[in-house]
Structure 1
Amino acid sequence: MSIKDFLQNVGISNTREIHHNLSAARLVEHALKRGEGQLTSTGALNIKTGKYTGRSPQDRFIVDYPEIHKSINWGKVNRPIDPEVFERIYARLTAYLQNKDLYVFDGFVGADRRYTHSIRFINELPAHNLFVRQLFIRPTEEELNKFIPQFTVISAPYFNAVPEIDNTNSEVFIILDFVKRIVIIGGTHYCGEMKKSIFTAMNYLLPQLNVLPMHCSANVGKDGDVALFFGLSGTGKTTLSADPNRMLIGDDEHGWSEDGVFNFEGGCYAKCINLSREKEPQIYDAIKFGTVLENVVLDDKGNPNYDDDSLTENTRAAYPIDYIPNAVLKGVGGHPKTILFLTADAFGVLPPISKLTKEQAMFHFISGYTSKLAGTERGITEPQATFSSCFGEPFMPMNPVLYAKMLGEKITKHNVNVYLVNTGWSGGPYGIGKRMNLKHTRAMVTAAISGDLENVKYIEHPIFKVLIPMECPNVPTDVLNPINTWSNKEDYNRYAKELANKFYENIKKFSGISDDILEAAPDLI
């Protein structure tokens, strides 16, 4: 089927020129000609996303059909929308796209070809089409010749919803139709909505194939030892997994099948705030021609100022994974040996690293305690303590307990070590304490992955019951136990008890949790 016939089949007709699977260079050329961005001194395309510089979780909906209703975990995260409302918005959207140039990219999600899904992105803007081209898996010529899309994503940033008639919360909408396998996005220029909508779709589809979908980065050592890094945006997934001594499988989204882990994507979407070559050399050097930057401030010579957060703290870089010199280009690896849960603790009371039992791992996976960091969502201006199930609740359409059970089974089957790593605050809560030293965090992560923490002595935290190592290579011992970093020990205990209570209140929301997992919760003293 020709691309024109396909567009007509999905209701898009009378278009102007259809730019199908353009190269990165051509897409950059089109974006510049249309004034969508400017080139930096390193050749990256820098665009501004205007009003919306992060995700809009209140504006994401799933079309509610009888055949999927029982499988969705409906609530504040997964908001239903009637099929009739979806059709009404869809009809206006397709009418809006008439007489416009369109940019189409055909790509894959899922590096393991047994679980790959083909996606066709239809974009109003060439800069957005470049984004998805760099972020998703790019087919070979042979694969393109027989390409049949299983999912279609239509993104039109200049088309707005009308809340009064569309039952939306604002002019922004991200609507996923799992039955028709269509995603429509409008009202926002933030590129990450396209990426995360497909992640959400995979999180619905893969458990039905006995594959655990995960919001995590993954890397592998020379001996084939795979490590997973779970965490919300800004907690360190991309930074900590981009290790020059290990090979990167992927930085954000993976599946875990009976054969091992595989990357969903063909690129990386890294935060840029305070980026430097000294701290993050691989990410820094990946920002070159073909990379899409979002909301980075440039000087009059086109030099990026990564320390400038005047537009947003959520500055981003999207680049193909082969821009990382030691990436696993096939995007697959074996079963993990080590799992690290990354949490940015705004209370400053969790240990910088602690070891978890399987039951504690399942408890903390369901809880997903972290902090929403500035800029990652609309309206977030400073860290806010929150719970995000599976360390990715905004993208998980099914019951978190289902994902946690799958994780627990795999931990047992493959004898995986699990650690909780606090990349947030130490010595006090946000505003008083300091952010964890990245050098120390890297040393602790290295020790966990290498096995250096398997033979050290541990003490149990009196409230959270996690095991704290008494020593760690290249880390001062007084840093390891968090109470030692607080000048006022009574304040520490008060904040720790407050956080323990938040864990307790949060876990009560879930049904179907076994007693052994509940027993792994913090003690309420």
Structure 2
Amino acid sequence: MSAMKALAPAWRNGLRYTSFSSRARIGAAARKELGKTASLATVSSLGIDKATGITKPSTVYYNLPYPEVFEHETKNEEGESTANGTYCVSTGQFTGRSPKDKYFVKQAPSDKKLDWGKINKGVAPEVYENIYKKAVKHYNENVDKMYVFDGYCGTSPKSRKNVRIITELAWQHHFAKNMFIRPDSEAETAGFEPDFTIINACKVINEDYKDLGLNSDVAVVFNVEENMAVITGTWYGGEMKKGIFSMMNYWLPLDGVMAMHCSANKGKDGDTALFFGLSGTGKTTLSADPERLLIGDDEHGWDDDGIFNFEGGCYAKTINLSRDNEPEIYDAIKRDALLENVIIKENGEPDYTDTSRTENTRVSYPIYHIDNHEPSGMGGHPNSIIFLTCDAFGVLPPVSRLSPGQAMYHYLSGYTAKVAGTERGVTEPTPNFSAGFGAAFLTLHPTLYADLLQHKLDRHGTQCFLINTGWTGGGYGVGKRMSIKATRACVNAVLDGSINKASFTPDPVFGFDVPTELPGVPTKVLIPRDAWSDKKSYDTTRTKLAGMFKDNYTKFVKPGVTNYTSFGPK
């Protein structure tokens, strides 16, 4: 049985701390902080009382150094330590984000800018006030100590935002410290003024949610005008990370700065590349290149100075993780990293193959745990942008070159395909379209991001490519998965520019340019139709997929926004 068994009260998420001798092993970065003691503050010294109404917690722990965070987590019995000193917690009932419970307050002037719909759902100001008051009351009546993280979202001094995260759990403070950008010194936060504050009241349950018109007793509510968000009913740390990302997607484009759900890396000569892609397409794997510096693995901005990471850490999936398949991530899981929902064996070792709690097991860690990271978190204007798709229909080529208009069409489509073959009676792949390769976080109309991206492509001469990491020679169940060797060859050809020396032929349906020869990629694989033994079946499947693209794109066509339909399949 796992050491992470339910031995503590329910409010502790059923966890108990187990001590291992390796607890004393502290990484180099943490050792630098050993001389510091826990930073104590008060709600009044930080201005929290006036800004939020939270007045009662007698102790406020402020921007704790990593060793102190670890001590608090263990003393509070919030989780358990693994054999190498990594801390591990359970996020309880919610092991992922709860998108149906995310709301924005519907009020002027943001109500004229937000793209209302299934993703950005509105609530009345009085509903927000109800939830906000519950959170404040909880802190004032039930919380003796709380944790406050002040830091930044964005490595670019010009475009970053000051963020404040208020939590009552030390591990959530740990998560914020990992994922956001940590101030370099205590002096840097003197007189800190947050641009946005999140009050994480995860223990508050909205039992009157039906009267409030909410989806469930969970609520994650953003008040754009008040620069405040309240989280209730869910312990999942990713709500804080993606909540600020959603706000960056609101603020930055209005100032002409692109916000992107992508990874980024940097070559030895300073050339920068971006990798867009939904889950399972290889975004993290392909951007983690030992020959290039990692700028960041998930969220980035693009301002007049170039690319910049929003975050100070990484948040990676750990399902089936091994040193062989993901050495950089595997070796990053050490003291100061934070595991979520991973089963810990009796010997203190994580079992990354055990999905009994969830398949969405995760780890967050400061980005300096990756040896070949870019310390500045910034890069120049990108030379190349790669859109990654896992096409389980086996229609798309392993690599294709996009015109600026085609790039906007595929950016808005955000296509990949989920393999449904594991379900009884289901043999066909399921298409998944997500605008911007991250529709859940786009707060403005998707075409506004596309217009801004096209402007930047034109200004900086950035080339865009579509790379298929999915199937070739047939769809799922008939063909085979694209080899990682071939995919790496495509990526390398894009990054070193050699792909532009190839001969290209236009795809007769999708219109993008497909190379006819490329070192490291079999010729018949480059032209997907040639890889299929049944050419008629390929033509039928390609027509079917093209129709799916066209049907999906109709939702972006409305008065007052740019129409990129002509750059899609014919």
**Structure 2 residue 140 is the aligned partner of structure 1 residue 93:** no
**Structure 2 residue 80 is the aligned partner of structure 1 residue 35:** no
Question: What code does the residue aligned with 1:147 have?
Answer: F
Question: What code does the residue aligned with 2:257 have?
Answer: V
**Structure 2 residue 191 is the aligned partner of structure 1 residue 146:** yes
Q: Give the conservation status (yes or no) of the 8 Å contact 1:234–1:373.
A: no
Secondary structure at 1:97's aligned position in 2?
helix
Query: Which of 444, 447, 469 pairs up with 1:398?
Result: 444
CA positional deviation for 1:339: 0.2
C-alpha distance 485-403 of structure 1, shift in aligned 2 (>3 A): same
C-alpha distance 307-161 of structure 1, shift in aligned 2 (>3 A): same
Q: Give the conservation status (yes or no) of the 8 Å contact 2:41–2:60.
A: no
Query: Which of 498, 502, 506 pairs up with 1:452?
Result: 498
Identity of aligned residues (%): 47
Superposed CA deviations along residues 427-449 of structure 1, whole A, max 9, x for unmatched, are 44445554433333222111111
Q: Distance in 1 between matches of 2:86 and 2:223?
A: 34
Superposed CA deviations along residues 406-464 of structure 1, whole A, max 9, x for unmatched, are 11111111111111112334444445554433333222111111112111112222222
Aligned to 1:70: 112
Aligned to 1:481: 527
Query: Which of 343, 352, 356 pairs up with 2:402?
Result: 356
**Structure 2 residue 364 is the aligned partner of structure 1 residue 318:** yes
Aligned to 1:379: none
**Structure 2 residue 546 is the aligned partner of structure 1 residue 500:** yes
**Structure 2 residue 316 is the aligned partner of structure 1 residue 270:** yes
RMSD: 2.1
C-alpha distance 464-59 of structure 1, shift in aligned 2 (>3 A): same
Q: Which moved more, 1:163-172 or 1:401-410?
A: 163-172
Superposed CA deviations along residues 294-345 of structure 1, whole A, max 9, x for unmatched, are 2222221122232333322222111111111111121111100000011232
Q: Normalising to structure 2: TM-score of the pair?
A: 0.86
Aligned to 1:221: 267
Secondary structure at 2:449's aligned position in 1?
helix
Aligned to 1:52: 94
Aligned to 1:8: 49
CA positional deviation for 1:198: 0.3
Trace 1:197-346 onto structure 2 (pairs within 5 A).
Answer: 197-346=243-392
Following superposition, which runs of at least 4 residues in structure 1 exceed 6 angstroms of deviation?
none
Q: Normalising to structure 1: TM-score of the pair?
A: 0.93
C-alpha distance 234-49 of structure 1, shift in aligned 2 (>3 A): farther
Question: What code does the residue aligned with 1:494 have?
Answer: T
Secondary structure at 2:406's aligned position in 1?
helix
**Structure 2 residue 176 is the aligned partner of structure 1 residue 132:** yes
Aligned to 2:200: 155
C-alpha distance 373-262 of structure 1, shift in aligned 2 (>3 A): farther
Which structure has the bigger radius of gyration?
Answer: 2
C-alpha distance 173-484 of structure 1, shift in aligned 2 (>3 A): farther
Q: Distance in 1 between matches of 2:206 and 2:59?
A: 25
Aligned to 1:377: none
Question: What code does the residue aligned with 1:150 have?
Answer: D
Gaps of 5+ in 2: 1-39, 421-427
Q: Give the conservation status (yes or no) of the 8 Å contact 2:42–2:58.
A: no
Q: Distance in 2 between matches of 1:144 and 1:232?
A: 36
Aligned to 1:436: 482
CA positional deviation for 1:136: 0.6
CA positional deviation for 1:47: 1.6
Aligned to 1:177: 223
**Structure 2 residue 426 is the aligned partner of structure 1 residue 385:** no
Aligned to 1:378: none
Q: Give the conservation status (yes or no) of the 8 Å contact 2:41–2:61.
A: no
**Structure 2 residue 119 is the aligned partner of structure 1 residue 119:** no
Q: Give the conservation status (yes or no) of the 8 Å contact 1:65–1:83.
A: yes
Superposed CA deviations along residues 233-262 of structure 1, whole A, max 9, x for unmatched, are 333222211111001111111111112111
C-alpha distance 433-60 of structure 1, shift in aligned 2 (>3 A): farther
Q: Distance in 1 between matches of 2:202 and 2:190?
A: 30
Q: Which moved more, 1:486-495 or 1:128-137?
A: 486-495
Secondary structure at 1:349's aligned position in 2?
coil
**Structure 2 residue 151 is the aligned partner of structure 1 residue 103:** no
Question: What code does the residue aligned with 1:341 have?
Answer: F
Q: Distance in 2 between matches of 1:65 and 1:294?
A: 36
